[in-house]
Amino acid sequence: MQTNIDLQGLRVAVTGGTSGLGLALVRQLTAMKACVAFIARTAANVERIADETGAHGIVGDVGKKDDIYPIALQVTASLGGLDVLVNNASSLGPVPLALLADTECEELEVALAVNLVGAFRLTKALFGALAASARGGGGALVINISSDAAVNAYPGWGAYGASKAALAHLTAIWDEEAKADGIPFLALDPGDMDTSLHALAVPDADPATLKRPELAAAEIIEKMLDALPVRSTLLTGAHG
């Protein structure tokens, strides 16, 4: 992927932006001069990453209904609108991972609340801003981070896999429904990455066998640019 792309003027929101893939996306997008707002639960981490990258940090939990509209309002206020939403925040459900028969109902609810319902609520809250961007000719896009656990039946990954499978299908339906608004929806599987979330799930995994979040982020940004109708404009730094 090119590293000298100028995304000045592109407005991007990323959930789960203080670690793993989300953090790698925030760093790379801000380095490309995009206007970025990121969301995470821990205020100290949000402040630290905002200071490091210059992105707009927003403290909130997408798994909590009452946090959604304050998050959405801060996103649009800080960026002056929105072009791209990346629903990246994820929850494993039970930690350590558990068979479905040993998974508490509340643990399944947590995975669904973050991975599915949270992504749905935030997208719905920001849909008007995205549609406005699409109408303005700048393009709009929603990226939902999925997983191969959404397709493959891995024992122990029931809560996570079921929530990601639902997210993938939600994405496909919304992609069809939002064609009239000019907003494509993508469900992207970044692969098994060397992140804190993966370490919680598989503590004995060899990091050398896992993809670096920075590589996964670069691949996602490439797909993001492919999906935006103004890709050629972005590559010349003339968007905005």
Any domain includes 214 = yes
**Tokens describing residue 230:** 């103004």
Any domain includes 89 = yes
The pTM assigned to this predicted structure is 0.92
DSSP string of the chain, one letter each residue: --S----TT-EEEEESTTSHHHHHHHHHHHHTT-EEEEEES-HHHHHHHHHHH--EEEE--TTSHHHHHHHHHHHHHHHTS-SEEEE-----SSSS---GGG--HHHHHHHHIIIIIIHHHHHHHHHHHHHHHHHTTS--EEEEE--GGGTS--TT-HHHHHHHHHHHHHHHHHHHHTGGGT--EEEE---SB-SHHHHHH-TT--GGGSB-HHHHHHHHHHHHHHHSTTHHHHHTT---
Q: Which residues are catalytic?
A: 160
Any domain includes 5 = no
> Residue 32 has what pLDDT?
96
> Residue 77 has what pLDDT?
98
CATH number at residue 170: 3.40.50.720
- pLDDT tens track, the chain, 240 positions: 455 789 999 999 999 999 999 999 999 999 999 999 999 999 999 999 999 999 999 999 999 999 999 999 999 999 999 999 999 999 999 999 999 999 999 999 999 999 999 999 999 999 999 999 999 988 999 999 999 999 999 999 999 999 999 999 999 999 999 999 999 999 999 988 668 887 888 888 888 888 899 999 999 999 999 999 765 455 544 444
Any domain includes 169 = yes
> Residue 236 has what pLDDT?
47
152 class by beta-carbon count within 10 Å (0-12 exposed, 13-18 middle, 19+ buried): exposed
Any domain includes 219 = yes
Full residue range of the structural domain in which residue 39 is found:
11-235
Residue with tokens 């907003």: 183
Number of domains composing the chain: 1
Taking the C-alpha atoms of residue 117 and residue 101, their distance in angstroms, rounded to an integer, is 23
